[in-house]
Amino acid sequence: MIRCVRMWTGEDGNSLFEEGHIELDDRADGDALGKPIAVTELSFQETRSGGSYEWHRDPVPRYVITLSGTLEFETKSGATFVIRPGDVLLAQDNSGSGHKWRLIDDQPWQRVYVVFRPDAQLRFVSQGAEAS
């Protein structure tokens, strides 16, 4: 199972988040395979150890796949969650008050940004919910 945290802008204009996973189908060979997701852009970024970023919104809806580094994200309400290597952030808080993050280990944050098409099936499954 690939852990995914979805972050979006609530009706009050503040960022919210929920934990879940990426939908995968089990195959006979023991692998689990996800269905394709239509994307428009892929890029890489690295932030040195100790980095942080104050209040901001994501510029476009996208997946953020963490390769290295452990981060703590915070919303305006004070709620926090942690992203570790191998986790996926589904960043959909493109308006409102946004969020901030800080690295909490001694590794750089290496990540892949994957911008998905507006009509893409996102394959996110909330804990205890159906795929969306």
**For the chain, domain boundaries:** 3-125
Residue 20 has pLDDT above 90, yes or no: yes
Fold of 3-125: Jelly Rolls (2.60.120)
pLDDT one-digit tens code per residue, 41-79: 999 999 999 999 999 999 999 999 999 999 999 999 999
The separation between the first and the last C-alpha atoms of the chain, rounded to the nearest angstrom, is: 16
DSSP, collapsed to helix, strand or coil, labels residue 117 as: coil
**Alpha carbons 80 and 26: distance in angstroms, whole number:** 32
pTM of the model: 0.92
- How many CB atoms are located within 10 Å of the residue 94 CB? 16
**Contact criterion met (CB below 8 Å) for 39 and 117:** yes
| Arithmetic mean of pLDDT, 12-27 | 95
Give the count of beta carbons closer than 10 Å to the beta carbon of residue 88: 22
Closest CA to 73 of 97, 116, 43, 104: 104
